[in-house]
Amino acid sequence: MPVKKKVSVKKTVRGPAASVSRRASSLANRSLRLRARIPSSASPLTSRSRGLSVPVYSLAGRASGTLSLPKEIFGVKVNKTLLSQAARIYLTNKKTLLGSTKTRGEVEGSTAKIYRQKGTGRARHGAIRAPIFVGGGITFGPKSRKVRLELPQRMRKAALFSALSSKFFDKNVLGISGIDKASGKTKEMIQLMEKLKIKSGLIVTGEKTDNVTRAVRNIQGFDVLPANLLNAYEVLKHELLLVTKEAVNVILGSKTTPEFGKKDSGRALLARMTKKGKKK
Q: Are residues 81 and 209 in the same domain?
A: yes
Full-model pTM: 0.65
pLDDT at 276: 53
Alpha-carbon gap, residue 73 to 236, rounded angstroms: 15
Residue 261 lies in a domain: no
- Domain's final residue, options 146, 163, 182: 146
Same domain, 125 and 194: no
Please state the rounded mean pLDDT for residues 194-221. Answer: 87
pLDDT at position 58 is 87
Residue 235: what pLDDT? 92
Number of domains in the chain: 2
Distances (CA, A) of 162 to 27, 30, 158, 167, 205: 36, 33, 6, 9, 19
> Are residues 80 and 103 located together in one domain of the fold?
no
**Domain of residue 79, CATH code:** 3.40.1370.10
On the question of pLDDT at 20 being above 60, the answer is no
80-89, 224-233, 241-250, 261-270: least confident range: 261-270
183-203: pLDDT as tens digits: 888 888 888 888 888 888 999
The pLDDT value given to residue 9: 47
Percent with pLDDT over 90 in the chain: 39
Q: How far apart are CA 193 and CA 223, in angstroms?
A: 12
Q: Which of 38-47, 81-90, 247-256 has the lowest mean pLDDT?
A: 38-47
Asked if residue 106 is part of any domain, the answer here is: yes
**pLDDT tens-digit readout, 99-149:** 999 999 999 999 899 999 999 999 999 999 999 999 999 999 999 988 899
Same domain membership, residue 179 and residue 78 = yes
| Residue 271 confidence (pLDDT) | 60
Domain boundary among 131, 146, 161: 146
For residues 271-278, give the mean pLDDT. 56
Using pLDDT thresholds of 50, 70 and 90, give the confidence band for residue 263: very low
pLDDT value of residue 88: 94
Closest CA to 73 of 240, 254, 229, 196: 254
**Digit-coded pLDDT (tens) for 39-63:** 333 333 333 445 588 999 888 888 8
> Is there a domain that residue 36 lies in?
no
12 part of a folded domain: no
186 plus 248 within the same structural domain: yes
Residues present in the chain in total: 280
Please give the backbone phi and psi of residue 165, each rounded to the nearest 5 degrees, phi first: -65, -40
CA distances 242 to 144, 197, 239, Å, are 39, 13, 10
Q: Is residue 103 part of a domain?
A: yes
- In a domain? residue 172: yes
Please report whether residue 169 resides in a domain: yes
The mean predicted confidence, pLDDT, of the chain is: 78
pLDDT band at 150 (very low <50, low <70, confident <90, very high): very high
Same domain, 89 and 122: no
Q: In this structure, is residue 213 part of a structural domain?
A: yes
Given a contact cutoff of 8 angstroms between Cβ atoms, the answer to whether 173 and 70 are in contact is: no
Kindly state whether residues 171 and 237 are assigned to the same domain. Answer: yes
Q: Are residues 181 and 77 in the same domain?
A: yes
241 and 177 within one domain:
yes
**Structure confidence at residue 187 (pLDDT):** 87
Per DSSP, 105 falls in state: T
Same domain as 57, residue 177 = yes
One domain, residues 190 and 157? yes
Mark whether 119 and 73 lie in a shared domain: no
Range of the domain at 155: 45-94+151-253
